[in-house]
Amino acid sequence: KYTKFSIYYYWINSLDQKIPISARSEDVPIPSGEENKTAALSYDYKIMPLENTSSTGTYYCQVKWNDIQKMGKGVFVLIRDTGYINTSYGWEILVTLTVLLAILSITATALLLWKRK
């Protein structure tokens, strides 16, 4: 009953549309003496090529037996254009703020000392 099954690969894009990628049927023979035992089989699938940034989304694998369906949790893939540079200014902002506070602190100290004289 469970030796014949189908594997479906699809992705859900940013518009929540389910887009099929590939499907295949499997018929796995059971070796003699292995009946009524649990088996785990691995199937790798490469999604190539990812054409452009619109291919960003969550990719899923689903297996269907006669009356049973099992779906994976999905893998989110973020695709960026060639030459993309991640623009994170966190470190620069921290250094700028530290320098600014240091300058204000020195200026305030100098003004206090100047007023005392």
- Residue 1, classed as helix, strand or coil, is coil
Please tell me whether residues 15 and 42 are part of one structural domain.
yes
Residue 51, domain extent: 4-77
Please tell me whether residues 14 and 40 are part of one structural domain.
yes
Please tell me whether residues 9 and 43 are part of one structural domain.
yes
Compute the half-sphere exposure of residue 5: CA atoms within 13 Å on the CB side of its CA.
18
Q: What is the pLDDT of residues 25-64, one digit of tens each?
A: 988 888 787 777 777 778 777 766 666 667 778 889 999 9
What phi and psi, each to the nearest 5 degrees, are found at residue 64?
-125, 125
- When divided into structural domains, the chain yields a total of 2
Do 61 and 45 contact (CB within 8 A), yes or no? yes
Indicate whether 18 pLDDT > 90.
no
Please tell me whether residues 90 and 55 are part of one structural domain.
no
Please tell me whether residues 20 and 69 are part of one structural domain.
yes
- How far is the C-alpha of 71 from the C-alpha of 7, rounded, in Å? 10
Please tell me whether residues 92 and 47 are part of one structural domain.
no
